[in-house]
Amino acid sequence: MINRTKLVLVLSTLALSTAAFLARERGKARNRPVYDANLREARITFEDFTATRYESGILTSVARAKSGYLLEPNMLELFGDVSFRTLKGDRKKQYWEQLYCETATAYFRSNSLAQMITSSSMDRIDLRGFVKIETKGMTLETDSAVYTQANGILQSSAMTQLSGPGHNLKGEGGFSFDLRREELNIVGPIRGGGSFEMP
């Protein structure tokens, strides 16, 4: 009888211990964060991000943002008051072309962060939120745009407003702007008008 009572006590203690252990593990699993295998985490974070390019000792481009993130294997994300300035024209007649937006994501042709930083070329940049381009007295505004490095074209399918001295118009179908040739096409229907004189 005493042996049977001891066996029942041992089995009861074992069952209670097992139940407590399983309850504790369930609680841990409930509080454990779930990680998405496809989620890209920032490897390097910048505050007050600034990147510059010099050619023959002359500053030719500047990119700025409040913060930036390098993500594996090929992305640079910029947030907050993003701006890009590029020096255009020849030495006799130079001007700054400026682009502003809220966020920008640059994609590079790379397989790793190290390759992206050292030797990779850029593929495209996605621009979002209050996108504005200023060049030669002309201002172009839209909600989002994509710049493709291979052909030098900035384009958007969102409504676009073009303004400047003597003209103001809206294109409901977006625009295509060849930055190398300085050719702008506004997609209609178009409202507004005025006279255009490109310097």
User: Is 18 in the same domain as 91?
Assistant: no
176 close to 162: Cβ distance less than 8 angstroms: no
| CB burial readout 135-163, b (16+ within 10 A) else e | beebebbbbbbebeeeeebbbbbeebbbb
- 105 and 71 in one domain? yes
Span 156-162, mean pLDDT? 92
Q: For residues 20-49, give the mean pLDDT.
A: 61
pLDDT (tens digit per residue) in 71-111: 877 888 999 999 999 888 877 888 888 999 999 999 988 87
Q: What is the mean pLDDT of the chain?
A: 80
Host domain of residue 6 = 1-32
Label residue 18 by pLDDT band (50, 70, 90).
low
Is residue 161 assigned to a domain?
A: yes
Q: Please check whether residues 6 and 63 belong to one and the same domain.
A: no
Residue 74 lies in a domain: yes
SS3 179: coil
pTM over 0.75, yes/no: no
Looking up residue 146, the CATH number of its domain turns out to be: 2.60.450.10
72/9 same-domain check: no
Q: Are residues 7 and 76 in the same domain?
A: no
Question: Would you say residue 199 lies in a domain?
Answer: no
Residues 26 and 49 in one domain: no
